[in-house]
Structures are given as structure tokens and as C-alpha cells.
Homo-oligomer: A and B are copies of this chain.
Amino acid sequence: MSAHITNAIRKLRFEHNEMTQQQLADAVDVSRQTIVAIEKGKYSPSLEVAFKIARQFDKSVEEVFFWQQQG
């Protein structure tokens, strides 16, 4: 029932000067554990955090997060 959301955060971090999880966390003002959890798909972020992460990489939300509908 719950939709699954994947993301390209890890890929984008490496493409952006090998940014570390801690650096991204600081840049978007969340904890490192939050970045880890989102990156690993443990849960999906709030829309606000999603916007912050996307903008950090100069991307749209949909270029970073991928939603696949369930049946």
C-alpha cells in the first residue's frame, strides 16, 4: 500500500565534489543520520527536506527523488 520512493542522493554527492553525508547534512540543516536514513531508503523525507536537498544540487525534486506507484 505504501508507495516507495528512491533517490539519487549518493550519486549526486559524489558528482558534487565528493560531498560527504555530513557536509550535505550541514548544508540542508538536518542531522547526518537523517541523510543516511533517506539515502538508504529507510524512510522518505518531508517535502521540506526533499526541496532543500534537491536545491542543494540545483535539481528539481523529481530529478532527485523517484516515486513508483503501487498497484
Chain A residues packing against B (C-beta within 8 Å): 1-3, 5, 29, 44-48, 50-52, 55, 60-62, 65, 67, 69
Contact = CB atoms under 8 A, between A and B. Distances in A.
A8 to B, nearest CB: 14
Contact of A44 (B46, B60, B65): B46
Contacts of A5: 47-48, 51
Number of copies: 2
Contact of A62 (B3, B62, B67): B62
Of listed A29, A47, A61, A67, residue having the most chain B CB within 10 A: A47
A67 B51 contact: yes
A61 B2 CA distance: 18
Given A47-B65, A47-B67, A62-B62, 19 more contacts: A2-B48, A3-B51, A3-B52, A5-B51, A44-B46, A44-B47, A44-B48, A45-B46, A45-B47, A46-B46, A46-B47, A47-B50, A48-B67, A50-B50, A50-B61, A51-B67, A60-B61, A61-B61, A61-B62
